[in-house]
Amino acid sequence: MQKSTRHPILRMAHPGEHLREDTLPALAISKTALALALGVSRQTLYDLLDEKQGVSAVMAMRLAAVIGGSPELWLNLQMSYDLWKARKEVDVSKLKRLRETSEESVEPTKPKAKTRAKAA
C-alpha cells in the first residue's frame, strides 16, 4: 500500500467542504438549486455542506451524475476524511495484534469435537 504524502498535521477536507468552497461557487448556483438537481431535500444537502453528514453510496451516485467524477471518487473523499479523523481520535498504541499470519498460511480453525459422557 502506498503511503500518503499528505502532511499528517494538515487538516483533511470533508467532501462537504469541497462542495461548499469549490463546487458551488464554480457552478454559480444556489444550494437550493443543487439540492433540486440532486433530488434531495435542502436539509440533506445542508447537512452535507455543514459537515454534519458524510457522503453515502447513494449520495455519491447522485453527486457523480449531477456534478461529475465517479461515485468512487466521492466515496474515496469521504473514506479519506473518515480515516484521517479516526487516526486523530483513536489511540491504538496499546492494542495488541492477536496473531501474525501471512496471506498464504491462513487456515480455518476446526471446532473441537464434542464428547458425550456415557451414562452408567
Is residue 13's pLDDT more than 80?
yes
Comparing CA positions, the residue from 14, 46, 48 lying closest to residue 32 is 46
CB atoms within 10 A of CB 88: 11
Rounded Cα–Cα distance for residues 94 and 72 (Å): 33
Tell me the whole-structure pTM to 2 decimals.
Answer: 0.71
DSSP assignment, residue 104?
Answer: G
Which region among 1-15, 32-46, 53-67, 70-84 has the lowest average model confidence (pLDDT)?
1-15
**What domains sit in the chain, N to C, each tagged with a CATH number?**
15-89 (1.10.260.40)
pLDDT digits (tens, 9 = 90+) for 70-99: 999 999 999 999 999 999 999 999 999 998
Distance, CA of 117 to CA of 23 (rounded, Å): 71
- H helices present in the chain, as ranges: 15-18, 24-27, 31-38, 42-49, 57-66, 71-89
Cα–Cα distance between 37 and 65 in angstroms, integer? 10
> With 0-12 CB in 10 A as exposed, 13-18 as middle and 19+ as buried, what is 75?
buried
